Structure 1
Amino acid sequence: MEIPQIQEKLEAYHAAGKKLFTTSSFQTHSLVMLHIISRIDNSIPVYFLNTGYHFPETVAFKDLVAEQFGLNVIETKSSMPRYMQRNEEGRLLFTSDPDHCCFINKTAPTEELLKTHDVWINGVRGDQSAIRKAMKVEQDAPFNTVRFHPMLDWNMKTIFAYIKEHNLPRHPLDSKGYMSIGCEPCTRKLDPEMQEREARWFGLNKVECGLHTDLVKK
């Protein structure tokens, strides 16, 4: 979508009395949507899913972006303490059951947000995975909510052209070879043979955390 179309859609949601929110992992390529939102309506809450496993650089970058863009950033996290996130043998879930770890730390907290909001503004892009390519700009989500995907037809080239044009900051790990940054224990630098999101769960047959597979109305 073009920026005027995004603005028109957000204004229409507001006019209809809808309660909006967005989430962000605060990677470099996430900043385009955040910057656009900040220029249209910076009162829209931006939730940061604090898994407890983020790189320190990500947490610091989140604070920098929030201040620079004037965003209303709110941290949310799992109701299950990290010390309890273990399997029957006592191993932490990210080592033994990463899908369940993602559910506890990302999907479940976001599901709670859907219960109290109407529209989830989400920055998925169709070029990131086959699952995302099959999505629609507006898509039904649980609890009678709507997922709004304004960046669905953007790609890496248009994303970084916008970043350059507006001189947006870069995540400090970009320069160290990290292109898709998730939780520290699972994320690796991107190898030339990897697709963008494979580096998020190195060595696993996994490219989604569940936010974009479980939280879509079937």
Structure 2
Amino acid sequence: MTFEEIKKKISGYKDAGRSLFTTSSFQSHSIVMLHIISRIDPEIPVVFINTGYHFPETVRFKDEVSRLFSLNTIDLKPSTPKFMQRDADGRLLFTSDPDHCCYLNKTMPVDTLLRKYDVWINGIRGDQSSVRKRMKVEQEAPHGTIRFHPMLDWTPRMIYQYQKEFDLPRHPLEEQGYMSIGCEPCTRKVDPDMMEREARWYGMSKAECGLHTDLVKN
């Protein structure tokens, strides 16, 4: 979708009286969606899913971008404290059950948000994974919420061109070889022969955190 198409769609939701929010991981490829929203309506809530496991660089970058774009950024934290996020052997869940860790720290908090808003603007791209490739521009989510995926047909080249056109900042960890940046314990640097998303949950039979599998109706 082009900027004008995205703007028209968001305006249509607002004219219909629907409440909107977006989520962002504040990676470099997320910045385009945030910049577009700032041009259309900077009052739309931008939710940063603060798991408590993010790189310090990500938190600082989130604050920097929020100021630069005048975003209405909100930190969303899990309701389950970390001392309760351990397995029977006392290990934190990201070491033994990353799916449940993601559920407690990401999926469950956002599921609560879906009860409050009508439209979830989500910046996934179809080229990021096989799961995302099957998504539609508009899909139903739990609790009657609509998922709106305006970046679904964007490519890395389109992202790069937009970043260059508007001179957008880049996540500081990219210079160190990180490309897909999530929680620190589950993110590694990208090797030359790896796809972008392969750096997440490396060595595990896991490719999604649950936001795009559990919180969508096919």
TM-score (norm 1): 0.99
Deviation per CA, 1:9-39: give whole Å up to 9, x if none. 0000000000000000000000000000000
Structure 2 residue matching 1:127: 3-state secondary structure: helix
User: Residue in 2 aligned with 1:171?
Assistant: 171
User: Residue in 2 aligned with 1:193?
Assistant: 193
Structure 2 residue matching 1:39: 3-state secondary structure: helix
User: Residue in 2 aligned with 1:180?
Assistant: 180
Deviation per CA, 1:122-159: give whole Å up to 9, x if none. 00000001110110000000001100000000011100
Structure 2 CA distance, aligned partners of 1:203 and 1:157? 28
Deviation per CA, 1:29-61: give whole Å up to 9, x if none. 000000000000000000000000000000000
Structure 2 CA distance, aligned partners of 1:33 and 1:198? 22
Counterparts in 2 of 1:43-82, with a 5 A limit? 43-82=43-82
Counterparts in 2 of 1:1-218, with a 5 A limit? 1-218=1-218
Structure 2 CA distance, aligned partners of 1:98 and 1:176? 25
Cα shift at 1:193: 2.5
Structure 2 CA distance, aligned partners of 1:206 and 1:68? 34
Structure 2 CA distance, aligned partners of 1:194 and 1:211? 23
State the one-letter code of the partner of 1:40.
Answer: I
List alignment gaps of at least 5 residues for structure 2: none
Question: Where do 4+ consecutive residues of structure 1 move more than 6 Å?
Answer: none
State the one-letter code of the partner of 1:106.
Answer: K
Structure 2 CA distance, aligned partners of 1:213 and 1:61? 27
Structure 2 CA distance, aligned partners of 1:32 and 1:68? 13
State the one-letter code of the partner of 2:96.
Answer: S
- The structure with more helix, counted as a fraction of residues: 2
Cα shift at 1:203: 1.4
Structure 1 CA distance, aligned partners of 2:193 and 2:96? 26
Cα shift at 1:115: 0.4
State the one-letter code of the partner of 1:134.
Answer: R
Cα shift at 1:116: 0.3
Structure 2 CA distance, aligned partners of 1:191 and 1:34? 28
Structure 2 CA distance, aligned partners of 1:57 and 1:49? 15
TM-score (norm 2): 0.99
Structure 2 CA distance, aligned partners of 1:108 and 1:191? 32
State the one-letter code of the partner of 2:65.
Answer: V
Structure 2 residue matching 1:143: 3-state secondary structure: helix
Structure 2 CA distance, aligned partners of 1:193 and 1:86? 34
List alignment gaps of at least 5 residues for structure 1: none
Higher mean C-alpha deviation, range 56-65 or range 197-206: 197-206
Structure 2 CA distance, aligned partners of 1:212 and 1:155? 19
State the one-letter code of the partner of 1:215.
Answer: L
Structure 2 CA distance, aligned partners of 1:168 and 1:51? 25
